[in-house]
Structure 1
Amino acid sequence: MAGINILQQVSKARNGVGAFVHPCRKIIITYCNFGGSSKGTRDFLRNRLKTFAQQYPQIQFHILQKPGFHPVLRAQYTDGLEKQICTRKWNVDVVENKLKLLINSSGRKLSKPKQFVKSLNKSVRGIWSPFHVDPSQRYKV
Protein backbone atom coordinates (compact mmCIF):
# COMPACT_ATOMS: atom_id res chain seq x y z
CA MET A 1 0.00 0.00 0.00
CA ALA A 2 3.01 2.28 -0.12
CA GLY A 3 2.31 3.97 -3.47
CA ILE A 4 -1.50 4.27 -3.28
CA ASN A 5 -3.06 7.61 -2.42
CA ILE A 6 -6.40 7.34 -0.75
CA LEU A 7 -8.53 10.33 -1.62
CA GLN A 8 -11.04 11.47 0.88
CA GLN A 9 -14.17 12.69 -0.79
CA VAL A 10 -16.21 15.29 0.99
CA SER A 11 -19.86 15.05 0.12
CA LYS A 12 -21.72 18.22 -0.72
CA ALA A 13 -24.88 18.91 1.20
CA ARG A 14 -27.76 18.38 -1.19
CA ASN A 15 -31.13 19.63 -0.12
CA GLY A 16 -33.67 16.83 0.08
CA VAL A 17 -31.10 14.01 0.35
CA GLY A 18 -31.23 12.84 3.95
CA ALA A 19 -32.57 16.08 5.38
CA PHE A 20 -34.37 19.20 4.25
CA VAL A 21 -32.82 22.59 4.92
CA HIS A 22 -35.25 25.46 4.45
CA PRO A 23 -33.77 28.03 2.01
CA CYS A 24 -35.10 31.03 3.97
CA ARG A 25 -33.14 31.64 7.16
CA LYS A 26 -34.12 35.14 8.31
CA ILE A 27 -37.09 37.52 7.87
CA ILE A 28 -36.67 41.20 8.69
CA ILE A 29 -39.88 43.22 9.04
CA THR A 30 -39.48 47.00 9.07
CA TYR A 31 -42.40 49.32 9.76
CA CYS A 32 -43.33 52.80 10.98
CA ASN A 33 -45.10 53.07 14.31
CA PHE A 34 -47.41 55.93 13.30
CA GLY A 35 -47.53 55.98 9.46
CA GLY A 36 -50.77 55.10 7.69
CA SER A 37 -49.01 52.94 5.11
CA SER A 38 -47.81 50.58 7.88
CA LYS A 39 -51.26 49.86 9.33
CA GLY A 40 -51.56 46.34 7.86
CA THR A 41 -48.02 45.44 8.90
CA ARG A 42 -48.62 46.74 12.45
CA ASP A 43 -51.85 44.72 12.68
CA PHE A 44 -49.99 41.62 11.49
CA LEU A 45 -47.28 42.14 14.12
CA ARG A 46 -49.83 42.61 16.90
CA ASN A 47 -52.28 39.84 16.03
CA ARG A 48 -50.69 37.15 13.86
CA LEU A 49 -46.89 37.17 14.16
CA LYS A 50 -46.70 34.89 17.21
CA THR A 51 -48.67 32.04 15.63
CA PHE A 52 -47.01 32.61 12.25
CA ALA A 53 -43.52 32.39 13.76
CA GLN A 54 -44.46 29.18 15.60
CA GLN A 55 -45.23 27.56 12.23
CA TYR A 56 -41.66 28.28 11.06
CA PRO A 57 -39.30 27.65 14.02
CA GLN A 58 -36.25 27.35 11.72
CA ILE A 59 -36.57 30.99 10.56
CA GLN A 60 -35.38 33.98 12.58
CA PHE A 61 -37.79 36.92 12.72
CA HIS A 62 -36.40 40.42 13.33
CA ILE A 63 -38.68 43.43 13.80
CA LEU A 64 -37.26 46.91 13.10
CA GLN A 65 -39.11 50.14 13.69
CA LYS A 66 -38.12 52.89 11.23
CA PRO A 67 -40.11 56.09 11.70
CA GLY A 68 -41.06 57.81 8.46
CA PHE A 69 -40.40 54.83 6.16
CA HIS A 70 -42.76 52.51 4.33
CA PRO A 71 -43.03 48.93 5.62
CA VAL A 72 -40.77 46.34 3.99
CA LEU A 73 -40.50 42.56 4.29
CA ARG A 74 -36.95 41.36 3.65
CA ALA A 75 -35.91 37.71 3.45
CA GLN A 76 -32.34 36.42 3.65
CA TYR A 77 -31.59 32.98 2.23
CA THR A 78 -28.96 30.34 2.95
CA ASP A 79 -27.19 30.91 -0.37
CA GLY A 80 -26.58 34.60 0.44
CA LEU A 81 -29.39 36.00 -1.70
CA GLU A 82 -31.89 38.52 -0.43
CA LYS A 83 -35.43 39.46 -1.51
CA GLN A 84 -37.61 42.30 -0.32
CA ILE A 85 -41.22 43.35 -0.80
CA CYS A 86 -42.71 46.72 0.08
CA THR A 87 -46.03 46.25 1.92
CA ARG A 88 -47.21 49.84 1.72
CA LYS A 89 -50.98 50.22 2.31
CA TRP A 90 -51.63 46.45 2.31
CA ASN A 91 -54.00 44.78 4.73
CA VAL A 92 -53.13 41.99 7.18
CA ASP A 93 -54.04 39.10 4.86
CA VAL A 94 -51.89 40.38 2.00
CA VAL A 95 -48.92 40.92 4.34
CA GLU A 96 -49.24 37.34 5.59
CA ASN A 97 -49.49 35.97 2.03
CA LYS A 98 -46.39 37.91 0.96
CA LEU A 99 -44.49 36.55 3.96
CA LYS A 100 -45.46 33.02 2.93
CA LEU A 101 -44.30 33.80 -0.61
CA LEU A 102 -40.88 34.94 0.67
CA ILE A 103 -40.53 31.92 2.94
CA ASN A 104 -41.44 29.41 0.22
CA SER A 105 -39.19 30.88 -2.47
CA SER A 106 -35.51 30.13 -2.96
CA GLY A 107 -34.35 33.74 -3.31
CA ARG A 108 -33.36 33.39 -6.94
CA LYS A 109 -34.88 35.54 -9.64
CA LEU A 110 -37.27 33.89 -12.04
CA SER A 111 -35.77 33.22 -15.44
CA LYS A 112 -36.86 31.73 -18.72
CA PRO A 113 -35.48 28.36 -19.74
CA LYS A 114 -32.39 28.69 -21.92
CA GLN A 115 -33.07 25.74 -24.21
CA PHE A 116 -36.24 25.03 -26.09
CA VAL A 117 -37.39 21.56 -27.05
CA LYS A 118 -37.35 20.99 -30.80
CA SER A 119 -38.38 17.83 -32.55
CA LEU A 120 -38.16 16.59 -36.11
CA ASN A 121 -41.09 14.22 -35.56
CA LYS A 122 -44.69 15.33 -35.51
CA SER A 123 -46.32 14.68 -32.18
CA VAL A 124 -49.17 15.96 -30.09
CA ARG A 125 -47.97 18.94 -28.09
CA GLY A 126 -49.83 21.84 -26.65
CA ILE A 127 -53.54 22.44 -26.39
CA TRP A 128 -55.73 20.77 -28.99
CA SER A 129 -58.72 22.53 -30.46
CA PRO A 130 -60.87 21.74 -33.50
CA PHE A 131 -59.50 24.84 -35.23
CA HIS A 132 -56.05 23.23 -35.51
CA VAL A 133 -57.41 20.46 -37.73
CA ASP A 134 -57.29 20.70 -41.52
CA PRO A 135 -60.66 22.20 -42.66
CA SER A 136 -61.32 19.32 -45.05
CA GLN A 137 -61.01 16.81 -42.17
CA ARG A 138 -62.88 18.77 -39.46
CA TYR A 139 -66.28 17.09 -39.28
CA LYS A 140 -65.37 13.55 -40.33
CA VAL A 141 -65.85 10.86 -37.72
Structure 2
Amino acid sequence: MASRVLRRSLAAPLPSTAPASSSAFVLPCKKLVLSYSEQQGSHRGMRAFLGSGQVARLAERYPSVEVVVERNEKAGRHPQLRGVYLNGRTKEICVRNLPPSGIAAKAQLLLDSSGAKIVPIRRPSVQSTTESVRGVWSAFHEEQRQ
Protein backbone atom coordinates (compact mmCIF):
# COMPACT_ATOMS: atom_id res chain seq x y z
CA MET A 1 0.00 0.00 0.00
CA ALA A 2 2.81 2.41 0.86
CA SER A 3 4.49 1.78 -2.48
CA ARG A 4 1.31 2.75 -4.37
CA VAL A 5 1.09 6.04 -2.51
CA LEU A 6 4.73 6.79 -3.25
CA ARG A 7 4.35 5.99 -6.95
CA ARG A 8 1.24 8.10 -7.16
CA SER A 9 3.01 11.11 -5.57
CA LEU A 10 5.94 10.77 -8.01
CA ALA A 11 3.71 10.50 -11.06
CA ALA A 12 3.80 13.27 -13.66
CA PRO A 13 1.18 15.96 -13.13
CA LEU A 14 -1.87 15.97 -15.35
CA PRO A 15 -1.84 18.52 -18.16
CA SER A 16 -3.73 21.66 -17.27
CA THR A 17 -6.69 22.89 -19.27
CA ALA A 18 -5.36 26.45 -19.38
CA PRO A 19 -3.70 27.58 -22.61
CA ALA A 20 0.10 27.59 -22.57
CA SER A 21 0.32 31.28 -23.50
CA SER A 22 -1.30 32.54 -20.29
CA SER A 23 1.02 33.13 -17.38
CA ALA A 24 0.65 34.40 -13.85
CA PHE A 25 3.90 36.41 -13.91
CA VAL A 26 3.46 40.16 -13.51
CA LEU A 27 6.30 42.52 -14.34
CA PRO A 28 7.38 44.66 -11.38
CA CYS A 29 7.60 47.69 -13.69
CA LYS A 30 4.17 49.17 -14.22
CA LYS A 31 5.08 52.39 -16.01
CA LEU A 32 7.94 53.61 -18.23
CA VAL A 33 8.22 57.37 -18.74
CA LEU A 34 10.42 58.86 -21.49
CA SER A 35 11.03 62.61 -21.18
CA TYR A 36 12.68 64.64 -23.93
CA SER A 37 12.95 68.11 -25.45
CA GLU A 38 12.56 69.23 -29.07
CA GLN A 39 15.34 71.86 -29.04
CA GLN A 40 18.18 70.77 -26.76
CA GLY A 41 21.20 69.07 -28.29
CA SER A 42 21.66 66.37 -25.66
CA HIS A 43 18.20 65.04 -26.56
CA ARG A 44 19.17 64.14 -30.14
CA GLY A 45 19.44 60.41 -29.37
CA MET A 46 16.09 60.38 -27.58
CA ARG A 47 14.38 62.09 -30.51
CA ALA A 48 15.88 59.52 -32.89
CA PHE A 49 14.76 56.71 -30.57
CA LEU A 50 11.20 58.05 -30.54
CA GLY A 51 11.17 58.54 -34.32
CA SER A 52 12.50 55.06 -35.10
CA GLY A 53 9.39 53.25 -33.87
CA GLN A 54 11.25 51.29 -31.19
CA VAL A 55 8.91 52.73 -28.54
CA ALA A 56 5.88 51.22 -30.29
CA ARG A 57 7.61 47.83 -30.50
CA LEU A 58 8.52 48.11 -26.80
CA ALA A 59 4.90 48.87 -25.90
CA GLU A 60 3.65 45.91 -27.99
CA ARG A 61 6.19 43.57 -26.41
CA TYR A 62 5.19 44.57 -22.85
CA PRO A 63 1.42 45.21 -22.85
CA SER A 64 1.24 45.30 -19.03
CA VAL A 65 3.62 48.29 -18.87
CA GLU A 66 2.23 51.76 -19.50
CA VAL A 67 4.63 53.66 -21.80
CA VAL A 68 4.40 57.45 -21.49
CA VAL A 69 6.27 59.98 -23.64
CA GLU A 70 6.38 63.46 -22.15
CA ARG A 71 7.88 66.60 -23.57
CA ASN A 72 10.12 68.50 -21.14
CA GLU A 73 10.82 72.07 -22.21
CA LYS A 74 12.67 73.20 -19.08
CA ALA A 75 16.15 74.47 -19.87
CA GLY A 76 19.04 72.44 -18.51
CA ARG A 77 17.10 69.19 -18.15
CA HIS A 78 18.61 66.14 -19.83
CA PRO A 79 16.53 63.31 -21.32
CA GLN A 80 15.50 60.70 -18.80
CA LEU A 81 13.95 57.27 -18.59
CA ARG A 82 11.91 56.69 -15.44
CA GLY A 83 10.52 53.37 -14.29
CA VAL A 84 7.66 53.23 -11.80
CA TYR A 85 7.35 49.93 -9.96
CA LEU A 86 4.62 48.05 -8.14
CA ASN A 87 6.37 48.49 -4.78
CA GLY A 88 5.99 52.30 -5.07
CA ARG A 89 9.62 53.06 -5.94
CA THR A 90 10.92 54.83 -9.03
CA LYS A 91 14.24 54.59 -10.82
CA GLU A 92 15.55 57.29 -13.15
CA ILE A 93 18.31 56.96 -15.72
CA CYS A 94 19.79 59.92 -17.56
CA VAL A 95 20.27 59.10 -21.26
CA ARG A 96 22.13 62.27 -22.25
CA ASN A 97 23.92 61.95 -25.64
CA LEU A 98 23.20 58.21 -25.92
CA PRO A 99 22.42 56.65 -29.33
CA PRO A 100 19.00 55.00 -29.82
CA SER A 101 20.49 51.53 -29.27
CA GLY A 102 21.87 52.67 -25.89
CA ILE A 103 18.52 54.13 -24.91
CA ALA A 104 16.81 50.85 -25.83
CA ALA A 105 19.30 48.98 -23.63
CA LYS A 106 18.62 51.32 -20.69
CA ALA A 107 14.84 50.95 -21.16
CA GLN A 108 15.25 47.17 -21.14
CA LEU A 109 17.32 47.50 -17.96
CA LEU A 110 14.46 49.38 -16.26
CA LEU A 111 11.89 46.85 -17.48
CA ASP A 112 13.93 43.92 -16.18
CA SER A 113 14.61 45.57 -12.82
CA SER A 114 12.56 44.72 -9.74
CA GLY A 115 12.48 48.23 -8.28
CA ALA A 116 13.99 47.07 -4.98
CA LYS A 117 16.71 49.05 -3.23
CA ILE A 118 20.27 48.11 -4.03
CA VAL A 119 21.73 46.23 -1.08
CA PRO A 120 25.48 45.94 -0.49
CA ILE A 121 26.91 42.48 -1.08
CA ARG A 122 30.04 42.89 1.04
CA ARG A 123 28.39 43.46 4.38
CA PRO A 124 24.70 42.66 4.36
CA SER A 125 22.72 44.02 7.28
CA VAL A 126 21.81 41.62 10.08
CA GLN A 127 18.11 40.96 10.33
CA SER A 128 16.76 38.90 13.20
CA THR A 129 13.48 37.05 13.38
CA THR A 130 13.42 37.09 17.21
CA GLU A 131 13.01 40.01 19.57
CA SER A 132 15.81 41.32 21.74
CA VAL A 133 16.18 39.75 25.19
CA ARG A 134 16.37 43.18 26.80
CA GLY A 135 13.49 44.64 24.85
CA VAL A 136 13.30 47.93 23.00
CA TRP A 137 15.10 50.80 24.73
CA SER A 138 13.30 54.06 25.24
CA ALA A 139 14.26 57.22 27.16
CA PHE A 140 10.89 57.10 28.91
CA HIS A 141 11.79 53.78 30.57
CA GLU A 142 14.86 55.17 32.27
CA GLU A 143 14.52 55.92 35.98
CA GLN A 144 14.74 59.50 37.17
CA ARG A 145 18.20 60.36 38.53
CA GLN A 146 18.62 62.95 41.24
| CA distance in structure 2 between the aligned counterparts of 1:60 and 1:115, rounded to whole angstroms | 35
- Matches of 1:65 and 1:107, distance apart in 2: 24
* Partner in structure 1 of residue 98 of structure 2: 90
Structure 2 length-normalised TM: 0.63
Quick one: distance in 1 between partners of 2:68 and 2:82?
A: 10
Secondary structure of 1:83's counterpart equals strand
Runs of 4+ more than 3 Å apart = none
Give distance in 2, aligned partners of 1:29 and 1:54.
16
Quote how far apart the aligned CAs of 1:46 are: 1.0
Aligned partner of 1:65 among 43, 55, 71: 71
Percent of aligned pairs sharing the same letter:
33
Deviations 1:50-94 (A, max 9, x none): 112111111001111012321010000001010000111111011
> Aligned-pair distance for 1:115?
7.0
Deviation at 1:112, TM superposition (A): 2.3
Instruction: Show structure 1 runs of 5+ residues with no match.
Output: 1-17, 117-141
Aligned length: 99
Instruction: Name the SS of the counterpart of 1:79 in structure 2.
Output: coil
